[in-house]
Amino acid sequence: MHDYAPQALRDVVDDVYRRESRRVLATLIRLLGDFDLAEEALHEAFVAAVEQWRRDGVPANPRAWLVSAGRFKAIDGLRRRSRFDASLLQIAEQLEIDTQSVEEQADASVEDDRLRLIFTCCHPALSADAQVPLTLREVCDLKTEEIARAYLVTPSTIAQRIVRAKAKIRDAKIPYQVPEAAELPSRLASVLRVIYLVFNEGYSASAGDSLTRTDLSAEAIRLGRQLLELLPEAEVMGLLALMLLHESRREARTGEDGQLVLLEHQDRRRWDGAQIDEGRRLIEAALATRRVGPYTLQAAISAVHAVAPDIAGTDWAEIVGLYDMLLGIQPSPVIELNRAVALAMRDGPAAGLEQVDAILARGELQDYHLAHAARADLCRRLSRREDARAAYVRALNLVRQEPERRFLEQRLRELDE
């Protein structure tokens, strides 16, 4: 008999949920063959855990316990509902037969289950605007409201996309599996895009009090490693290298008070040397294939920063050249903006500001707070205080992340002082 205090038990269950819920869900989807049924089973398994773990203690393998409990709850629920729909009884009986070795499956296949789930969520039969929300919701457990903020749309819009995607998977009988080797290359682009979006949400959260979400970026890196084992292609290496090089700077990106620290002011001694070395090795391997793609080029840009002794000693000419190559294969106003910032470091703030103003004049980044923040910084460096103030105010009106908001407010105060 275990007598957990209510708060202590809640803390234990919350910790298990954070660490294991997405893995448990992925396995339940494989076992039950239905997103909604698996999500309901996951919820009921955690409800059962609160009751039973209070009495019996936390099991040695919480993940396997939860998968087993979820499986039982799903089958039991189908049997109860079979009183109103006789076909459900047959489904319940077949599920019981098909999932009898659930404890062994839960441990042996759980990592494969995560990868299966990603390929299912990124299936080409699903629309591009549904793949990312579905993956962020099912694989990463982001709430609908968080996803909506990241994409500047309403929560109801995101919810509808997710519902339609699940219905498509069910109705089209999209297989819950990693594609065969012959299919993998054509399926890769959407998977890489989604993994990088997951990483970005963890490395620079789209909204909220925290600048980063370590769990999401760590999960994206883990998925990148897993994908590289499955498919050692150049762009998979490039993406993993890019994530590692960004992640290497995590500890230096915030001060003790949680305040944002820009690259130029970061203590480079706090950068993770092991991640930098691994990232550089991956870039070299990717470049050796001579199949250079956008992730490899972005990783190469990050590597230039990683080896520079400080902001003044950075090879900005090389960075501008790499951005030129990147724009040649992946035109994007955000990439243009990043190039403009690098150009300002190479040729001076006036050259960079001319490019930023041209981008904003086209209207493509008018609602992107970093574009206005970049313009404000360049105007500040040119002593155009009123223009800088107006741009900082515009950026403040658009920013959704609290540490970035505080940083912009500090910049405004410094202008006045």
Tokens of residue 185, six digits: 């290359």
State the residue for tokens 């939860």. Answer: 66
pTM more than 0.75: no
In a domain, 258, yes or no: no
Q: What is the pLDDT of residue 253?
A: 87
Q: What is the pLDDT of residue 212?
A: 58
Q: What is the pLDDT of residue 107?
A: 47
Q: What is the pLDDT of residue 82?
A: 56
Domain termination residue (choose one: 55, 87, 108): 108
Q: What is the pLDDT of residue 99?
A: 47
In a domain, 235, yes or no: no
Q: Indicate which CATH number applies to the domain containing 376.
A: 1.25.40.10
In a domain, 194, yes or no: no
In a domain, 274, yes or no: no
Q: What is the pLDDT of residues 147-187, one digit of tens each?
A: 887 666 789 999 999 999 999 998 888 888 878 777 777 78
- Return mean pLDDT, the chain: 85
Q: What is the pLDDT of residue 291?
A: 87
d(CA 395, CA 401) in angstroms, rounded, equals: 11
d(CA 114, CA 119) in angstroms, rounded, equals: 9
In a domain, 212, yes or no: no
Q: What's the number of domains the chain is made of?
A: 2
Q: What is the pLDDT of residues 214-242, one digit of tens each?
A: 777 887 898 898 888 878 889 999 999 99
Task: Report whether 28 contacts 95 (CB < 8 A).
Answer: no
Residue 371 predicted with pLDDT over 70: yes
User: Structural domain of residue 321, as residue ranges?
Assistant: 315-417
Q: What is the pLDDT of residue 200?
A: 84
In a domain, 238, yes or no: no
Q: What is the pLDDT of residues 197-209, one digit of tens each?
A: 888 877 765 544 4
In a domain, 188, yes or no: no
Least reliable range by pLDDT among 90-104, 113-127, 132-146: 90-104
Half-sphere exposure of 260 (CA within 13 A, CB side): 20
Residue 351 predicted with pLDDT over 60: yes
Domain termination residue (choose one: 108, 124, 156): 108
Q: What is the pLDDT of residues 286-305, one digit of tens each?
A: 999 988 899 999 999 999 99
Domain termination residue (choose one: 66, 87, 108): 108
Please, which pLDDT band fits residue 384 given cuts at 50, 70 and 90? very high
d(CA 201, CA 189) in angstroms, rounded, equals: 19
Please, which pLDDT band fits residue 112 given cuts at 50, 70 and 90? confident
Highest mean pLDDT out of 131-135, 209-213, 386-390 = 386-390
Cβ atoms < 10 Å from Cβ of 15: 12
Q: What is the pLDDT of residues 21-44, one digit of tens each?
A: 888 888 888 888 788 888 888 989
Task: Report whether 275 contacts 248 (CB < 8 A).
Answer: yes
